[in-house]
Amino acid sequence: MSMSLAQKGKTISNNRPVPQEAEDIFLRAEHIGVTFAVRGNVREQGLSEHDERLLWDKRKRLRGVRALSDISFELKTGDRLAILGRNGSGKTTLLQILAGILSPSEGKLVSCGRITSLININIGLQPEASGHRNITLRGLVSGYSPKEIEEKRGEIVEFSGLGDFLSMPMESYSAGMRMRLTFAIATSFNPEILILDEWLSAGDVAFKKKATERMQEFVSKAGILVLASHSRQLILENCATGIWLDGGKIQAAGSVEDVLKAYEDSMVPASVPYPNATS
């Protein structure tokens, strides 16, 4: 299934203008498929032979699981895409492909613009290193130059509120302190293509208010946003288009309102709406 989800015009869905320098940013999935190999003598007992995602050999041994099939879409600057679906529908696998964490088994991903993923904000961090060192490491892993990292260091230090603790090993931090630092680092660089698996927040009540405001500003600066969430409110507030995945395939694509309705109508019982919770 191939489709373009680009919005008309060059404005973000919240009506903020897109910077001129971001106009050539794009993200295109071309017939992407992902199959995970299964090793060992896994027989068909308890598994459905009719599930087309399961790949069997001639001796009725399971040899693979097809997580995604023929996923195609194109996004351009200003697009805000929601990915909807039940658990196990392929949302996380697709996000990992878009973020470059996984490689597709079939098809290809073509992009122009730096991809920022908040799927795992702990990637690149070392517990035995100091907070300051981890700011550098996380920035380097994310593809930023030492100069770009240093330009953001003061902002990260101020927002985290950790002060002298940044000179201490991160393994000595409390869970709350680690979350403050990782959140501050992850949201410090302006994203061109932003991949989000649910909404990121952190800390106690006071810090969470700061984090929510910072997250909203961070998302608004993205040239392209791809958001997978179980929150109807978040999806409607931040996305203009959507795709609904089921069984690793696109079942519907188009305006976020139409795709949400199609997804909700498919649920059993049909009267159960997409959750309204924000977390």
Which 8-state DSSP code applies to residue 138? H
Cα 182-184-186 angle, rounded to 5 deg: 65
pLDDT, tens digit, 9 for 90 and up, residues 246-273? 999 999 999 999 999 999 999 866 455 6
Between 2 and 75, name the one with better pLDDT. 75
Tokens of residue 79, six digits: 């697009």
Has residue 20 got a pLDDT over 70? Answer: no
pLDDT, tens digit, 9 for 90 and up, residues 37-57? 887 666 655 565 667 777 777
Report how far residue 118's alpha carbon sits from residue 233's, in angstroms, rounded to the nearest whole number.
20
Cα 112-115-117 angle, rounded to 5 deg: 160
Mean pLDDT value of segment 135-144: 90
pLDDT, tens digit, 9 for 90 and up, residues 100-110? 999 999 999 99
The counts of H helices and E strands in the chain are 7, 10
Report how far residue 108's alpha carbon sits from residue 181's, in angstroms, rounded to the nearest whole number.
34
CA 104 distance to own-chain centroid? 16
Tokens of residue 103, six digits: 């490689």
Query: Which SS3 state, helix, strand or coil, does residue 34 take?
Result: strand
Cβ–Cβ under 8 Å, residues 104 and 97: yes
Where do the domains of the chain lie, and which CATH numbers do they carry? 1-29+73-114+191-279 (3.40.50.300), 122-190 (no CATH)
Q: What is the dihedral of CA 135, 140, 143, 148, to 10 degrees?
A: 60
Has residue 36 got a pLDDT over 70? Answer: yes
Using the structure block, give the residue that is written with the tokens 């195609």. 72
Q: In angstroms, what CA-CA distances link 221 with 20, 79, 181, 240?
A: 13, 12, 21, 16
Mean pLDDT value of segment 9-26: 47
For residue 103, the model assigns a pLDDT of 93
Cα 12-215-143 angle, rounded to 5 deg: 85
For residue 12, the model assigns a pLDDT of 32
pLDDT, tens digit, 9 for 90 and up, residues 3-16? 555 443 222 333 33
Share of the chain above pLDDT 90, in %: 60
Model pTM above 0.85: no
Q: In angstroms, what CA-CA distances link 273 with 139, 230, 251?
A: 40, 11, 18
For residue 62, the model assigns a pLDDT of 76
How are beta strands 106-112 and 26-37 bridged, if at all? Answer: antiparallel
115-117: strand order across its sheet? 115-117, 193-197, 224-228, 80-84, 241-246, 249-255
Mean pLDDT value of segment 189-216: 85
Mean pLDDT across the chain, nearest whole number?
A: 84
For residue 14, the model assigns a pLDDT of 36
Q: Which helix (H) or strand (E) holds 252?
A: strand 249-255
- Reported as half-sphere exposure (CB side, CA atoms, 13 A), residue 83 has a value of 27
Burial tier of 258 (Cβ tally within 10 Å: 0-12, 13-18, 19+): middle
